[in-house]
Amino acid sequence: MAITLDRMADLVGGTVVGDGLRSITGAAPFEEAGRDEITFAVRPQFLKRIDQTSAGAVIVPRDVQAPGVNLLQVSNPEAAFARVMALLYRPAKPEAGIHAAAVVGDDFVCGRDVSIAPLCVIQNNVTLGDRVTLHPHVVLGDNVVVGDDTTIYPNVVVLERCRIGRRVTIQAGSVIGSDGFGFAPEGEHYIKIPQTGIVRIDDDVEIGAGNTIDRATFGKTWIQQGVKTDNLVHVAHNVTVGEHTVLVAQVGISGSVTIGRHAILAGQAGLSGHLQLGDNVIVGPQAGVSKSVASGSVVSGSPEMPHRLWLRVQRIIPRLPELKKKIEEVARRLDRIEGQNEPNR
């Protein structure tokens, strides 16, 4: 697909400096982009070499100038580049229709232009909105509802009564609505607590590959609008993840945690149960969070602590053997001094 720079500028709210009629057919990294491709430059190491690029155009911050280079000046180059890539590389949409090898239960309600691939299983009373795409081996349980323009990739399972919003993407192999981990101890045994709730996923959410999102014991596990999860994320029962929060790979969230809006949980962060994380919280990689975190806080480490304190701690840890020797030497000196000051008996 070919798009002129002027057209791109209209679509991303940018300003062209140079040849607005230059036709762009692809996007590429800074060092590899060719004359018909666009790239972007934000970091100083790229901006200072911008005149060396072979790209047909470069997306840059609004204040950047580079004579002889076609520029697309925008407020947020990274976001603009993502939008341009979406224009240039539109994925092929499967042909609409229900494949003969799909299994569809009773009372199925289907919107317009739906694509259901071979070997999908749709159980009873399922409702799909318009332009929903189900890739092979998707399973939708009884009474599941899926909103318009949602895409569900192969081997995803959405179990009974769960609700999926509009423009949601669920990557391959994820399980939505598995039982929450609830067991009551009775002597040396455990009695399973029935998990009677659902999972609700709101609009514009993307769920990564291999996620497991447990249904609630009562009520709902709730993934709110705009949330993005990486691969291999686990969300336990009765968790609420606030709007536009990001969960990076291998994050684990225990039951009944509430996370606010615009939070970021870095890779392998783990949260204990029944915590409250406020809005705009950042949790560092491999952090173990054992108590609630106030809005706007940045925490790291296990157990968690303010990020700046954690940085100081990390600088000290490699010196601990040396500090131990010094402390032992100080202790020996004190013992000698105290021995010298004891009265003669």
Are residues 82 and 101 both part of a single domain?
Answer: no
Are residues 68 and 118 both part of a single domain?
Answer: no
Question: What mean pLDDT comes out for the span 230-247?
Answer: 98
Is 269 inside any structural domain?
yes
- Does the structure show a pLDDT above 90 at 314? no
Entry field: residues in the chain: 345
Q: Write down the pLDDT at residue 5.
A: 96
User: What is the C-alpha separation between 40 and 56, in angstroms, rounded?
Assistant: 11
State pLDDT tens for residues 11-36: 999 999 999 999 999 999 999 999 99
User: What is the C-alpha separation between 177 and 141, in angstroms, rounded?
Assistant: 9
- Given 67, 88, 109, which residue is the final one in a domain? 88
Is 31 inside any structural domain?
yes
Domain, as residue range, for 136: 97-308
Are residues 79 and 149 both part of a single domain?
Answer: no
Question: What mean pLDDT comes out for the span 44-53?
Answer: 93
CB of 36 within 8 A of CB of 27? Answer: no
Are residues 180 and 300 both part of a single domain?
Answer: yes
Structure tokens at 257: 């945690």
Are residues 250 and 101 both part of a single domain?
Answer: yes
Are residues 34 and 181 both part of a single domain?
Answer: no
User: What is the C-alpha separation between 193 and 185, in angstroms, rounded?
Assistant: 10
Residue 282 is part of a domain; what is its CATH number? 2.160.10.10
Structure tokens at 175: 């399980």
Q: Write down the pLDDT at residue 340.
A: 77
pTM (two decimals): 0.88
Is 275 inside any structural domain?
yes
> Among residues 99, 237, 262, 307, which one is catalytic?
237
CB neighbours of residue 337 within 10 Å: 9
Q: Write down the pLDDT at residue 1.
A: 77
State pLDDT tens for residues 186-229: 999 999 999 999 999 999 999 999 999 999 999 999 999 999 99
Is 341 inside any structural domain?
no
Confidence of residue 313 (pLDDT cuts 50, 70, 90): confident
Is 237 inside any structural domain?
yes
Q: Write down the pLDDT at residue 310.
A: 82
Q: Write down the pLDDT at residue 161.
A: 98
Is 317 inside any structural domain?
no
Is position 234 annotated as part of the catalytic site? no
Q: Which of 87-96, 118-127, 298-307 has the highest mean pLDDT?
A: 118-127
Are residues 64 and 111 both part of a single domain?
Answer: no
Are residues 103 and 73 both part of a single domain?
Answer: no
Confidence of residue 290 (pLDDT cuts 50, 70, 90): very high
Are residues 277 and 158 both part of a single domain?
Answer: yes
DSSP string, 207-259: E-TT-EEEPPSSSEEEE-TT-EE-SS-EE-TT-EE-TT-EE-TT-EE-TT-EE
Are residues 22 and 124 both part of a single domain?
Answer: no
User: What is the C-alpha separation between 39 and 201, in angstroms, rounded?
Assistant: 34
Residue 25 is part of a domain; what is its CATH number? 3.40.1390.10
Are residues 172 and 235 both part of a single domain?
Answer: yes
Say which amino acid occupies 58: V
Handedness of CA 113, 118, 120, 121 (dihedral sign): positive
Are residues 55 and 148 both part of a single domain?
Answer: no
- Does the structure show a pLDDT above 70 at 344? no
- Does the structure show a pLDDT above 70 at 245? yes
Element (H, E) at 176: strand 175-178
CB of 217 within 8 A of CB of 238? Answer: yes
Is 256 inside any structural domain?
yes
Confidence of residue 339 (pLDDT cuts 50, 70, 90): confident
State pLDDT tens for residues 124-173: 999 999 999 999 999 999 999 999 999 999 999 999 999 999 999 999 99
Residue 25, CA distances (Å) to 8, 38, 72, 89, 259 in order? 12, 8, 15, 9, 41
Which among 265, 215, 205 has a CA at the least distance from the CA of 236?
Answer: 215
CB of 111 within 8 A of CB of 148? Answer: yes
Number of domains in the chain: 2
Which among 289, 254, 255 has a CA at the least distance from the CA of 269?
Answer: 289
